[in-house]
Amino acid sequence: MFSINPFSELSGFIPSIAMQIFVIVMIILVVGGTILDMIHKKNVKYFFENAKKAKEAATKTVSAGEKATIILKTVASDILTSSEFCTIQRRFAHLLGMYGTIIFWITSAIMIFNYSTPSSVTPTMIPMLWHVGAMMTCIGTLWFWFVIRVNVSAEGNPWYQVIFADLFVLSLFATQVTALLWSYLQATGATGWDSLFLVLFILSNIVLFGGVYWSKFAHMFYKPGAAIQKHLAEADGSNSNLPEPADKPKQFGLGIRREDPSNY
């Protein structure tokens, strides 16, 4: 199972070009949904206006070299290692989901565009990474769903309570788990069942990529920009138009450490 390219096996029934067109359509849906999201929520306008205000409120000039260093540090810390999360659990769950999904998407594209014909010989490492990436995402999303979600861990709501904001994580999990089940059933020759999970895999992808406008998918593109802008504002003294952090709490004892933070 782990060494088999499921898309190569599938090409006996669905032409390779059809799979490639599907991937391109999904990319178009992501771009279109993100643009609609930006127009509706005016996120880009907010970022530009906020950057303009920060520039006017700056108390010192940050050189181009310093800006480049801040951007690199932000990418390495806040983005690549998710250091902005306050708990180890949340950080690990996010990293598993993020890197698992990236691995899954990249290897999917490689297999579909380069090795999706019956005669293709796929390097063993690629489908292996595809399966590992899917499993990493499943672990990360399940960890988040049952343990870390705000309305579960902080507000005490049941894990099975679903709201519209959960569309992204649920559809992301669905794409990965149906992909694994489809691959397993295909490898074991479970004719009929493999077709069922292939259809579910396709539908979950359509929901994931087609639901960008209504889900939190687009946040993946906003968060890096927001993190960079925050650190640049701290460096030039504008501090996003917020007051300097107060040190007064240090004068009132260590009561704040009596319990672990569990609220958001």
Higher pLDDT, 232 or 243: 232
Residue 57 has pLDDT above 80, yes or no: no
Residue 29 has pLDDT above 60, yes or no: yes
pTM, two decimal places? 0.78
The domains of the chain are located at 6-234
Instruction: Name the nearest CA neighbour of 12 among 107, 113, 131, 116.
Output: 116
pLDDT tens string 178-233: 999 999 998 888 888 889 999 999 999 999 999 888 777 777 777 777 777 777 77
Instruction: Name the nearest CA neighbour of 58 among 245, 234, 246, 243.
Output: 234
Measured at the alpha carbon of residue 203, what is the angle toward residues 118 and 165, in degrees to the nearest 5? 140
Instruction: Name the nearest CA neighbour of 75 among 238, 223, 235.
Output: 223
